[in-house]
Amino acid sequence: MSLRSIVIHPDPRLKKLCDPVPDLSDELRRLADDMLETMYDAPGIGLAAPQVGVLQRLIVADAVKDPDAAPQPVVMFNPEVVLSSDETSVYEEGCLSIPDQFAEVTRPAEVRVSWIDIDGNPQEGEFQGLWATVLQHEIDHLNGKLFIDYLSPMKRQLMTRKSQKIKRERARA
Ligand code: K1U
Ligand code: ZN
């Protein structure tokens, strides 16, 4: 396993529609392992393949809140929201590609998601709370959408400028 570097906004790779994964391969399983390691190292509670520069439909997540609880890593190939609740919830979201910035986003409170698991088996499950928020945030990444796209143009511009500054500083360091 190895750490991958995280793509920082603005970057054209974060605006692209990602390709479905046709068949699982050892290379894709290695990528999933690397993404989990990168997510835990960041630290984060989710990560999508375009955030490590790979434009394929793969996400990882572990939205267990309790720091003393056992890790619950989830790997999803070709994840899709197949049903969303009318009820919404608001969560202060962050993004590893938009460092140090947070904003409230309103999303469906519960979602049914289908995906292909690490063994190539189709799965479907219902998610609520933080899991629902994180999975929707990660699936948005696969469609070139960022959480700041839900905000006003002014807030989005402000956060983009701050992220651009952090990106420049990190490149110089
Ligand atoms: O996709 C990403 O950029 C990861 C992002 C996921 C996310 C967080 C909050 C709401 C929606 C989606 C993050 O993990 S940001 C870091 C973060 O929220 C966090 C880090 C450590 C402990 C707890 C949270
Ligand atoms: Zn993100």
Q: pLDDT digit of tens for each residue in the chain (173 aa)?
A: 899 999 999 999 999 999 999 999 999 999 999 999 999 999 999 999 999 999 999 999 999 978 899 999 999 999 999 999 999 999 999 999 999 999 999 999 999 999 999 999 999 999 999 999 999 999 999 999 999 999 999 999 999 999 999 999 999 98
CA 88 to chain centre: 19
CA of 48, closest atom in ligand 1: 1
Residue 138 annotated as catalytic: yes
Query: What is the pLDDT at residue 65?
Result: 77
**Cβ(146)–Cβ(50) below 8 Å:** no
Can you give the length of the chain in residues? 173
Q: How much is the pLDDT for 67?
A: 82
What residues contact residue 157 under an 8 Å CB cut-off, 6+ apart? none
Continuous segment of H or E residues that includes residue 113: strand 110-116
Distance 147 CA to ligand 2 centre (A): 7
d(CA 23, ligand 2 centre) in Å: 25
CA Rg value for the chain = 16
d(CA 150, CA 160): 13
The CA 91 to ligand 2 mean position distance, Å, reads 13
Cβ(90)–Cβ(106) under 8 Å? yes
Give the span between the Cα atoms of 56 and 77, in whole angstroms. Answer: 9
Residue with CA at minimum distance from ligand 1 atom 5: 95
Q: Is the CB of 47 under 6 A from ligand 1?
A: yes
Nearest to 156 by CA among 164, 70, 86, 28: 164
What is the best residue among 11, 39, 45 to mutate for testing ligand 1's pocket, by most ligand atoms within 8 Å of CB? Answer: 45
Q: Whose CA is nearest to atom 10 of ligand 1?
A: 93
**Ligand 1 pocket member 6 (CB < 6 A):** no
From atom 21 of ligand 1, which residue's Cα is the shortest distance away? Answer: 44
* Surface-to-core class of residue 82, CB atoms within 10 Å of its CB (0-12 exposed, 13-18 middle, 19+ buried): exposed
Q: What would you measure as the largest C-alpha separation in the chain, in angstroms? A: 46
Q: Cα(130) to centroid of ligand 2, in Å?
A: 14
Distance CA 118, CA 124 (A): 14
12 bridge partner residues: none
Nearest residue (CA) to ligand 1, atom 12: 134
Question: Which residues does 142 contact at the CB level (< 8 Å), separation at least 6?
Answer: 17, 18, 48, 49, 50, 57, 59, 79
